[in-house]
């Protein structure tokens, strides 16, 4: 990458404030960007107005501990209709290593614990709601079950990544279940009451790929969330990232040309592989 560069030394609070301002600016202007945590003190931010990004380097005056997994797992988050599957399939032919693609919902819903409890939890929920809930609505109301099923499967993902040497892509992630009412259009999406407890349990992937678009674009593809819910999903997921950062966070606005989005993603996967090879944990 050839990039323009600026350097700043900031406190942790100032750094988070700057990152939030960058996020607000980029998400409002359909701009892609990445945050790379090089170590506990150093962050690099790449802002992609073109494939030669503008680079900002932040040194923090006090180190902050990161607990991301030193294993090649990429979590792809974003509301339905944002283009997760389309972008992944455009990247597939250009990946330079073995990879596996998993859907988080399928991981959970195929688990033994989910299938044993679902008939009972669904019946109880139907009675309390006075209508038959969809599976998404059921899962929205049972985050403990979803987290347990996901966590029980996670050692197998680590085996596929570390032993079998695969790059693991996961479509959706635990993040969605830190939010409540995301499957209920008549209720406003927000953080769960005990979201900090769930966040502590959530394995932090090496890379978080956050796909987004303007509300009208998402509605034109899938009309499942209100404008307010899409705004909340966008803002709250970045808030959660700040609380528990991944090694690389990449924000992709899929209103940009698909080839441009693909190249940004591939550049960041290259950064991920390069940094992981140089700094094994």
The DSSP code sequence of 11-29 is -HHHHHHHHHHHHHHHHHT
What angle (nearest 5°) sits at the alpha carbon of residue 261, between those of residues 259 and 266? Answer: 90
Structure token pair of residue 99? 């990879």
In a domain, 7, yes or no: no
Residue 47, domain member (yes or no): no
46-50, 103-107, 156-160, 228-232: the lowest-pLDDT one: 46-50
42 occurs within a structural domain: no
Q: Is residue 30 part of a domain?
A: no
Q: Indicate the pTM of the whole model.
A: 0.93
Residue at 63 is within a domain? no
Does residue 162 fall inside a structural domain?
Answer: yes
Which pLDDT score is estimated for 184?
A: 93
Residue 273: band (very low, low, confident or very high) from pLDDT cuts 50, 70, 90: confident
Number of structural domains in the chain = 1
Measured between alpha carbons, how far is residue 227 from residues 181, 189, 212, 216 in Å? Answer: 14, 11, 13, 8
Residue 48 lies in a domain: no
CATH of residue 234: 3.40.50.300
Give the confidence band of 280 by pLDDT, cuts at 50, 70, 90. very low
Q: Please give the residue range of the domain that contains residue 129.
A: 68-278
User: Has residue 150 been placed in a domain?
Assistant: yes
Evaluated on CA atoms 64, 67, 72, 74, the torsion sign reads negative
Q: Residues 6 or more apart from 4 whose CB is under 8 A from it?
A: 52, 53, 54, 55
How do residues 133-174 score in pLDDT, each as one tens digit? Answer: 999 999 999 999 999 999 999 999 999 999 999 999 999 999
Residues 8 and 18: beta-carbon distance below 8 Å = yes
What does residue 256 show for φ and ψ, rounded to 5 degrees?
Answer: -70, 165
Q: What is the pLDDT of residues 76-109, one digit of tens each?
A: 999 999 999 999 999 999 998 899 999 999 999 9
Query: How much is the pLDDT for 4?
Result: 59
């Amino acid at each position: 990458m050839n990039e323009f560069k600026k350097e700043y030394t900031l406190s942790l609070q100032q750094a988070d404030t700057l990152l939030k301002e960058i996020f607000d600016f980029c998400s409002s202007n359909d701009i892609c960007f990445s945050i790379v945590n090089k170590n506990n003190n150093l962050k690099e931010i790449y802002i992609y107005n073109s494939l030669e990004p503008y680079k900002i380097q932040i040194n923090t005056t006090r180190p902050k501990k990161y607990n991301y997994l030193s294993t090649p797992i990429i979590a792809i988050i974003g509301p339905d209709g944002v283009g997760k599957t389309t972008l992944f399939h455009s990247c597939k032919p250009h990946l330079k290593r073995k990879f596996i693609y998993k859907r988080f919902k399928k991981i959970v819903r195929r688990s033994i614990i989910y299938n044993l409890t679902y008939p009972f939890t669904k019946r109880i929920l139907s009675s309390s709601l006075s209508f038959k809930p969809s599976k998404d609505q059921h899962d929205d109301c049972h985050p403990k079950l979803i987290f347990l099923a996901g966590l029980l499967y996670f050692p197998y993902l680590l085996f596929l990544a570390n032993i079998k040497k695969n790059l693991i892509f996961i479509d959706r992630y635990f993040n969605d279940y830190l939010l409540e009412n995301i499957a209920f259009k008549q209720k406003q999406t927000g953080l769960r009451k005990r979201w900090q407890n769930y966040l502590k349990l959530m394995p932090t992937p090496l890379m978080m790929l956050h796909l987004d678009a303007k509300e009208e674009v998402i509605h034109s593809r899938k009309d499942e969330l209100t404008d307010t819910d899409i705004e909340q999903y966008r803002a709250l997921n970045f808030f959660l990232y700040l609380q528990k950062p991944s090694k690389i966070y990449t924000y992709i606005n899929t209103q940009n040309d698909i080839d441009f989005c693909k190249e940004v993603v591939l550049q960041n996967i290259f950064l991920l592989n390069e940094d992981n090879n140089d700094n094994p944990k």
